[in-house]
Structure 1
Amino acid sequence: MAIRLSKKRRVWLLLCVASLTLMLLAATRWMRGTSGPQLHPSALTLHSRNAGAPIAWVRGQNQHTGYLRHVHEVLSFLGYTVVNYTDAEGLTQPWDLLWSHAYPFKELRPLMLRLQPHQRVNHFPGSGFISNKVTLAESELKSVPHAFRIPKDREKLLNYAKLNPAKLFVQKSNNHRGIAVKPLSELDLSAEGSFVQEFVHNPLLIDGHKFDIGLYVVLTSVRPLRVYIYWGDVLFRFCPEKYHPFDPAVKDKYVVGDDYMPTWKVSSLIPYYTLQGFGMKQSFDAWLRDQDKDPELVWKGVRDAISEVFYAKEDAIIGAVLNYKRRHNFFEMMRFDLIVDADLHVYLMEANMSPNLSSAHFKQNKLLYRQVVKHVLGVATLPVNELMAAARLRSEHLTKTDPSVAVNLELSEDQQMNAAFKDVSVFPEHCATNCAGDAKGSSDSKGSDCDDVSCQLCQRCVSSELLQELLRAHGEHQRRGMTRRLLPPPITPPSAAHTPANISHINPDNTLITEWFRGKCLLDDTFCS
């Protein structure tokens, strides 16, 4: 028998169904959490979902567009509770990791000045000395094409052009991404804030197309300097139009823009990338070997170019970091863009802070971006389980040193599970013979031999601050994943570790960490590179 409902009851029933549907949609979105760009503005409702998990604050405008989607996905995968605080909330709410798309040291300066030891921020004070186009271009580095600040260097430019009449130039600025090759007479040599740079006119071409190479690099420390490069793959971007016949009016021949031609559309790379499943770097290497050229010449040039920048800008970054309580709160991931000429010389064009990590335009780049974020976080931050353990120690006030631990090894028992002094000790024969003090092998006091640099890594001489630095370096090495150490320089071949490196050009902090890696290389060849 059919049930008949009055009109009022039918309307009431429809409203109930609609309300239930909206509740189910809201619950579904809540359960999806932060795997997409839709996030709660505050983490307060999320804490109960993953109690005790470290909190990652992803900061950026217009996140609904999805340009930080892969950052959200990776952080959630790693076990973070991901939140989208407002700046005001971030000043008062708890968080462990800040991933800010914008440079945070102006808008969030009060917060940056009082960071807690466990908090990490994905930018380094002073990193603009590298990513600023004008500052980098006028650094007079071997790998950076000659550049002239306008209008200050106008006369220098004119004299250089007179001595090199075949050279071509482009004019750039920090506020304008586009470039165009023009005759010197057509350049605006009075434009404040711009610079004129020599144009690399003989690029290496693949199927007639010019390209650039983007490498993801992470700075984890200054004083001492530690830099890693993501080596799982490299971003190749090709100009849409063939370079020859060259026409400066057709920018698609020589400018890599947002609508670049991707690797999977380059005919000579398809057999490797598309048909065999190799990455962009491996496909390029295979193609270059097929041209009877050695790809290692390119990658050595790449490593040398990026290393040169960090050495040149280290003091400036240190000066900026000194304004903050702790230098270990910070790390920085940049993408360095380089080009290669026909003779395999490498030129550094720019370094990008907060580089694009969105695969909305090229879906095939999704894996690259996700792996970059995962492995950068791996080397630069502690794993989630260790962050949770450290949080428990803080809350339980269990950070006091165990009295049974030697005075110069100020590590709790829990810390020593990750690494103790024995795991960072180096040069055993040298330390036992030359740095043992008056009572050989048994002295606990520091003597005059500890003034010798060669003894400062030995147990009797090592300072608590240096020990913590060595433990951080050891942890980064253990977590490096697909990143590889760029600085201190790798030791190749491992047998080279028997000879002290040339350290005359680096500061004392870098000297000690370089020697430490050499000592570890002698004991464990995985530390050689």
Structure 2
Amino acid sequence: MGFAASVLITICAAAGLEIILDLYFWDTNVKKQGPSDNPGWSSIRYKVYPDINATDNHLRHVILLLEKMGYKQAPIYDSDWDLLWAHEYPFLNASLSLQKVLYHQIVNHFPGIGFITSKVHLSTAALPFMPKAFRLPTQKYDFLKYAENNPDLLFVEKHNNHRFINIRSSSSINLNSSNSFIQEFIQNPFLVDGHKFDIGVYVVLTSVDPLIIYIYTGDALFRYCLAKYYPFDARDVDKYVVGNNYLPTWKVHSLIKYYTTLGGSMQATFDAYVKDQGMNPSEIWLQVEEIIPQTILSKIHEISNKLKMYQSGIFFELLRFDFIVDDALKVYLMEVNMSPNLSSAHFKKNSLLYDQILYSVFNLVGIGSSLKNNRQKLHNKEEIVTSDKNIVINLNNCVRHLCHESCTTKECELCLSCLNVNQVNILKKAYYEHLHKIDMKRIYPKPVANPENFDIEAEVRNLSTKNAWLARWYYWKCKENRSWCQ
């Protein structure tokens, strides 16, 4: 064997020994610093409020999906948690210390959301797409004037402390009743096989200021009244009230061929039925997408003021907007539900709907991020998904106006060099949501379909400063990358 060959063998052997030693020490260190010993490897933690027991079914889908994603449940008053899933409004419970929530902790409600989920607050807000409503006895004279001008109307009478309702004419209502309200009854509902129904649309609010709203497009919840609407009898609430034991889509005769035989969703099934009647269901969904932002905007100042008390943390809101439709396809908003029902205990076939809604929500807001399945320390973890370069838009404009030197002109408001830390975080969050929206569709700021035919300045003219700023950013993202257009 020559000298050169001997040297080569020696070098290779030394290198091999070094690799073996490196692998040994890596393996030893990993075993020593595994999940049980190294806090950096511990599981992400969720907690539920109020605490639940093993027989509770209302959060079953939530908990099963969280645990599939690697979350472990923490005690309710433990301060070490990543997600708080509250089925009830949690901000009145001082022991939860939510005003001290940390920057990475996620809460599934916004402070002040009750301004739109309280039926009395909402129905008496004089929104044009809600049936006219009055509080008693404070708005008694307003009601009398309205009833005089509309003598053929019927009204729903509801007391705030129970769920029972009555349909009455204006002359039979007790105007001195306290703690109740009355609302105009829509007498000409669109019917499917003679049944009145409501539509539940799932909505996610991810930011308040600026406002960002998504709707779930994978399906909607259709609930049909048990009894046929005609002949109408106000004493039979099953004709006009959707109860817990409602008639599901798969038991409505004319819908079976679409839903059961052909495998359509509830929404696709309904749309097919409407088309069979010679009508256009898109008229309904266009109204829905206009009503939802207007509703939230009507109470946004009250919600924003509540949110100012909470300086850190990540808040979002999953809501269900309930609508009815009249025989001319005009859409009316009836109520907005905080913590909407996600239990399939009563209707097993709704199980997939709830799982898919939650999967989309969890991904959208960061609960389901693949980088969060443990707390392992990872250098620049956030930048792997969203970095500064991902939020940059309109570079030519920024150079033309020398925005790297001065930020005094309006043209520089979206240039990276002129953004403050909070603005950068807002845009990175918006970019993250776009990447992870699954079956969610952003409806506010208004999506742009074709930037060449979209007047962005006309669109933002009546928006708040922050909402207009974000709307312009979305517009430029669409203009530069058509995957951002909707």
Is 2:459 the partner of 1:502?
yes
- Equivalent of residue 211 in structure 1, options 197, 215, 222: 197
Identity of matched residues, %? 39
Is 2:344 the partner of 1:359?
yes
Residues 389 and 370 from structure 1, CA distance in 2 versus in 1: closer, same or farther, beyond 3 angstroms?
A: closer
Residues 173 and 457 from structure 1, CA distance in 2 versus in 1: closer, same or farther, beyond 3 angstroms?
A: farther
SS of the residue corresponding to residue 129 of structure 1 reads helix
- Match for 1:60: what amino acid? P
Per-residue Cα deviation, 1:7-47 (whole angstroms, up to 9, x for no partner): xxxxxxxxxxxxxxxxxxxxxxxxxxxxxxxxxxxxxx999
* Equivalent pair of 2:40/2:377 in contact (CA under 8 Å): no
SS of the residue corresponding to residue 61 of structure 2 reads helix
Report how far residue 185 of structure 1 moved.
2.9
- Equivalent of residue 335 in structure 1, options 280, 298, 320: 320
Residues 390 and 524 from structure 1, CA distance in 2 versus in 1: closer, same or farther, beyond 3 angstroms?
A: farther
Residues 233 and 174 from structure 1, CA distance in 2 versus in 1: closer, same or farther, beyond 3 angstroms?
A: farther
SS of the residue corresponding to residue 392 of structure 1 reads coil
Is 2:302 the partner of 1:345?
no
Per-residue Cα deviation, 1:114-142 (whole angstroms, up to 9, x for no partner): 00000000110000000001000111111
- Match for 2:382: what amino acid? Q
Structure-2 residue corresponding to 1:490: 447
Per-residue Cα deviation, 1:198-230 (whole angstroms, up to 9, x for no partner): 111111001010000001111110110011111
Per-residue Cα deviation, 1:240-297 (whole angstroms, up to 9, x for no partner): 1111111111111100011110000111111111101110001111111121211110
Distance (Å, rounded) in 1 between the aligned partners of 2:161 and 2:377: 46
Structure-1 residue corresponding to 2:385: 418
Report how far residue 497 of structure 1 moved.
4.3
Structure-2 residue corresponding to 1:378: 363
- With structure 2 as the length reference, what TM-score do the two structures score? 0.88
Is 2:104 the partner of 1:118?
yes
Report how far residue 315 of structure 1 moved.
0.8
| 1:224-263 → structure 2 map (5 Å cutoff) | 224-263=210-249
- Match for 1:522: what amino acid? K
- Match for 2:476: what amino acid? G
Residues 296 and 388 from structure 1, CA distance in 2 versus in 1: closer, same or farther, beyond 3 angstroms?
A: same
Unaligned runs of 5+ in 2: 1-34
Distance (Å, rounded) in 2 between the aligned partners of 1:173 and 1:304: 30
* Equivalent pair of 1:229/1:485 in contact (CA under 8 Å): yes
Is 2:65 the partner of 1:56?
no
* Equivalent pair of 2:40/2:375 in contact (CA under 8 Å): no
Structure-1 residue corresponding to 2:67: 76
| 1:193-208 → structure 2 map (5 Å cutoff) | 193-208=179-194
CA RMSD of aligned residues (A): 2.2
Distance (Å, rounded) in 2 between the aligned partners of 1:173 and 1:481: 40
- Match for 1:222: what amino acid? V
Residues 513 and 293 from structure 1, CA distance in 2 versus in 1: closer, same or farther, beyond 3 angstroms?
A: same
Residues 344 and 46 from structure 1, CA distance in 2 versus in 1: closer, same or farther, beyond 3 angstroms?
A: farther
- Match for 1:126: what amino acid? G
Report how far residue 382 of structure 1 moved.
4.5
Report how far residue 97 of structure 1 moved.
0.3
Larger relative contact order (Cα-Cα within 8 Å, sequence gap ≥ 6):
2
- With structure 1 as the length reference, what TM-score do the two structures score? 0.81
Is 2:83 the partner of 1:107?
no
Structure-2 residue corresponding to 1:433: 400
* Equivalent pair of 2:196/2:224 in contact (CA under 8 Å): yes
- Equivalent of residue 467 in structure 1, options 414, 424, 441: 424
Residues 122 and 260 from structure 1, CA distance in 2 versus in 1: closer, same or farther, beyond 3 angstroms?
A: same
Residues 359 and 223 from structure 1, CA distance in 2 versus in 1: closer, same or farther, beyond 3 angstroms?
A: same
- Match for 2:406: what amino acid? K
Structure-2 residue corresponding to 1:139: 125
Structure-2 residue corresponding to 1:308: 294
SS of the residue corresponding to residue 113 of structure 1 reads helix
Residues 68 and 82 from structure 1, CA distance in 2 versus in 1: closer, same or farther, beyond 3 angstroms?
A: same
* Equivalent pair of 1:220/1:227 in contact (CA under 8 Å): yes
Report how far residue 391 of structure 1 moved.
5.8
Residues 427 and 110 from structure 1, CA distance in 2 versus in 1: closer, same or farther, beyond 3 angstroms?
A: same
Residues 201 and 47 from structure 1, CA distance in 2 versus in 1: closer, same or farther, beyond 3 angstroms?
A: farther
Report how far residue 498 of structure 1 moved.
6.3
Distance (Å, rounded) in 1 between the aligned partners of 2:172 and 2:430: 51
* Equivalent pair of 1:285/1:295 in contact (CA under 8 Å): yes
Report how far residue 381 of structure 1 moved.
2.3
